[in-house]
Amino acid sequence: MEQKVIIANSIGFIAFLISLFAYHKNEKKNIFKNTLISNILNLIQYILLSAYGGIATKIIAIFRDFSIVKQEKYIFLKSKKVLVIFVIAYLTLMVITFNGFISIFSLLAAMIYTIFCWNGDVNVVRYVRIFTNILWLIYNIYFKSYTGAMTNFVYIISTIIAIKNSEKLKNNLNIKKGNE
């Protein structure tokens, strides 16, 4: 394996660890501060791998996460107009960076995830996350981002577990309501 790929994947592993711990933060703002750092590291990783769709995706993700962090201060950042701007950016960059069908998977996944996460239902977001991580998994394997692929695999398994736990909790609550 060439040195550039090894360095890129080492940076990707650090990004994975930061994003993994991000979701253990108590405030949305702190979660997205960590994902912002993770996305910057992933951007560097994709630059080293010459994965242009990944580069474009992470640039938009940096702006998206920054806008989420600033939503409390600037209310207009929560509007549907801002979401439309992100969708247009994703679609535009899909055309610009197109280099075969798999090259658009990262942007497509990020666009779909952003749309459903903007103000989405938690359960829908979980199912969408599985789908989008499968797209990312294929993209990362194709572009030799092995730590990225590992990250996607962990997210898929974690999300499946979250769905199963949510279903168990819902079933237990329904059983308790039925016994009352």
Q: What is the pLDDT of residues 14-66, one digit of tens each?
A: 999 998 877 667 676 777 788 889 999 999 999 999 999 999 999 998 888 78
pLDDT above 70: residue 86 = yes
State the CB neighbour count (10 A cutoff) for residue 30: 13
pLDDT above 80: residue 94 = yes
Taking the C-alpha atoms of residue 149 and residue 140, their distance in angstroms, rounded to an integer, is: 5
Structure tokens that stand for 41 in this block: 């590291």
Looking at residue 65, its pLDDT comes to 79
Structure tokens that stand for 97 in this block: 């960076």
Average pLDDT over residues 84-113: 93
Looking at residue 180, its pLDDT comes to 62
Looking at residue 7, its pLDDT comes to 96
Q: What is the pLDDT of residues 132-152, one digit of tens each?
A: 999 999 999 999 999 999 999
Q: What is the pLDDT of residues 109-127, one digit of tens each?
A: 999 988 887 766 777 878 8
Q: Is the pTM of this model over 0.95?
A: no
